[in-house]
Amino acid sequence: MKDGKFLTMGIETSCDETAIAILADGRTVLSNVISSQIDIFKNYGGVVPEIASRHHLENINGVLDQSLEEAGVTLDDIDLIGVTHGPGLVGALLMGVSTAKALAFAKDIPLVGAHHLMSHISANFIEYPELEPPFMALITSGGHTEIVKVSEYNKCEILGGTRDDAVGEAYDKVARVLGLGYPGGPKIDKIAKEGNPEAIHFKRVYLEKDSYDFSFSGLKTAVLNYINTEKQAGREINRADVAASFQEAVMDVITEKAVEAVKASGMKKLALAGGVAANSRLREKLAELCEKEGIQLYRPHPALCTDNGAMVACAAYYKYKNGETDGLDLDASPSLPL
Ligand code: KG4
Ligand code: ZN
């Protein structure tokens, strides 16, 4: 406690960001330090799990010190430690989980393991202090694409999800073949602004009527085939047009399905979550659709959409308030279900 506020530390190391944040009373950010390994993985075209783990180990103490310093607190002021324990890369997760357990043990602080996707959803509670469940959420990250009904803090029901690639994964792969580099999502977002989304028609895959599931592997293959065909014919590829056309095909499907799910639920609230929620076209397109349909849209600041410790601290805070804590046997769980 400091100045009468309950302090939660959130630790996130599920992929390539080493991140530690401190929140006051579960929703107010005192510090949110993120050390990204993007510069390292640019050279590899993607995350190399073993290298990611090593960098977490090298970075985590520095990130911890900086987070405490920026928040103006010490470890003795921390009331709760939350840590991502899954899903994610097992070696990467273990770095955060081991750190959290060591701190909890040394300082006798309660420990809570947080689900990475519930944490992404919880970014909305930080950005919008008035937001409370129930609401619908569209989760789009590097590993997940799901439409979920958030019934309570830390409880949700999956209405549909991808049957193959996640949206972020499709973005990263298309960016790679376009030679845009890693991570592909932000690069496609940027270059698509200069392209024509109607230049190339890629088929929209809606699957069965009334299904909230997705499939993006066909779209990804269609983009790769288009690029190969053009190259073989000796024609120059307009990367901005390909990026914009691919992006529009993705966004048409996910925005339409998300809005349909909200309308069917009768809830009138939709929250965005996950790294791809930082995408400018997704944010703009959903804002237009939601306004037309009378749906309140929640879009956390892009820095809260991609991996960070603040969202983890928030998810952990609500689990703790619900009476849930973990012991020192907490383990990394790479495929933890929602
Ligand atoms: O949530 P996140 O940071 O990590 C995971 O939990 O996966 O999401 C990372 C994913 C990557 O695939 C990245 O390319 C994508 O989010 N991403 C974006 C944007 N920013 C990040 N995709 C599209 N547009 C963006 N602006
Ligand atoms: Zn994530």
How far, in Å, is the centroid of ligand 1 from the Cα of 274? 7
How far, in Å, is the centroid of ligand 2 from the Cα of 46? 15
103: pLDDT strictly greater than 90: yes
Name the residue at shortest CA distance from atom 7 of ligand 1.
Answer: 142
Q: Which ligand is nearest to the CA of 280?
A: 1
How far, in Å, is the centroid of ligand 1 from the Cα of 143? 9
Summarize pLDDT for 210-250 with one digit per residue, the tens. Answer: 899 999 999 999 999 999 999 999 999 999 999 999 999 99
Q: Which ligand is nearest to the CA of 254?
A: 1
What domains are there in the chain, each with its CATH number?
7-123+305-321 (3.30.420.40), 134-302 (3.30.420.40)
CA distances from 143 to 60, 202, 213 (A): 23, 23, 15
Ligand 1 pocket residues where CB is under 6 Å: 15, 141-143, 168, 171-172, 183-186, 189, 274-276, 278-279, 306-307
59: pLDDT strictly greater than 90: yes
Q: What is the pLDDT of residue 45?
A: 85
157: pLDDT strictly greater than 90: yes
Residue type, 166: A
| pTM score of the predicted model | 0.96
Summarize pLDDT for 75-85 with one digit per residue, the tens. Answer: 999 999 999 99
Residue of 216, 301, 306, 312 with the most ligand 1 atoms within 8 Å of its CB, for mutation: 306
